[in-house]
Amino acid sequence: MIRRNSIPILEFDPNPEALIEPSRLIKKRDVPVHCVLVFFRDVLHALKEEGKCTQIASFNCETVELPVYETIVDQRRIAITQAFLGSAGIAGQLEELIAMGFEKFIVVGGAGVLRKDIAVGHLILPRSAIRDEGVSYHYLPPSREVECPVDSFAVLEREMKKTGIPYIAGKTWTTDAFYRETRDKIDLRIDEGCLTVEMESAALFAVATFRKVSLAQILYGGDDVSGAEWDHRSWQGRSEIRRNLCDLALTICLEL
């Protein structure tokens, strides 16, 4: 029996089986084991225009269809797809990808920075995430943070060190409400050591831990929310950074 709580989201149910199980709805497919989820539509469009990927599946919901593509890296099959924005959407997407047969994931995107010294394009590896969203509480017991799957993070950091590309590893703040990042809440997250703010990491780490799949994440420094005023820093226009980051993710994902 679940114990009633005055705050419903804290009523965690440890039962591993839900009424709607993805594995019963989604058929297994002949897909690669490895998959990169990327938030950059421009990069996926470029790969498709260059003839470097072939559609093998899709994630469908009422509002969007996100194709899943296959490409070849180092003579090995690997998939790449656009990531769904927000914790609820990407959790459902990850569940369906796992049900299709994917087992190892790298997720790449941008994030707001909580330190001015993190330049636009600087890479951040989230080691853990503050659970200021909703999805993770349905996969893991309540806690303040959730860790990136430890083995996956170890591989990611090992491979990043091989490249010689500078990066920072640390804590991120996952929130569902980007229009409610108030000054006091930002200061609180800075005080507890968060480097970035985004909308998906906690959910991704929770689903991956629950489903026992490999998953790690690479973010790049985007807009600056650490100051008295928001600084956009034109972070979404850094096309070369975004393409290079996707290429890096495809290579590292094959090492998971």
Hey, what domains does the chain have and what are their CATH numbers? 30-253 (3.40.50.1580)
CA atoms within 13 A on the CB side of 156: 28
Q: Calculate mean pLDDT across residues 128-144.
A: 98
pLDDT exceeds cutoff 90 at 7: yes
Return the pLDDT at 249.
Answer: 97
For residue range 18-52, what is the model confidence (pLDDT) as tens digits? 999 999 999 999 999 999 999 999 999 999 999 99
Q: Calculate mean pLDDT across residues 128-136.
A: 98
For residue range 184-229, what is the model confidence (pLDDT) as tens digits? 999 999 999 999 999 999 999 999 999 999 999 999 998 889 988 8
Q: Compute the Cα dihedral for 126, 239, 236, 207 and give only its sign.
A: negative
pLDDT exceeds cutoff 80 at 233: no
How far, in Å, CA of 199 to CA of 181, rounded?
Answer: 12
Q: Calculate mean pLDDT across residues 158-163.
A: 97
pTM beyond 0.75, yes or no: yes
Q: Which residues contact 206 (CB under 8 A, 6 or more apart)?
A: 91, 131, 135, 136, 139, 140, 146
For residue range 43-90, what is the model confidence (pLDDT) as tens digits? 999 999 999 999 999 999 889 999 999 999 999 999 999 999 999 999
Other residues' Cβ atoms within 10 Å of the Cβ of residue 1 = 4
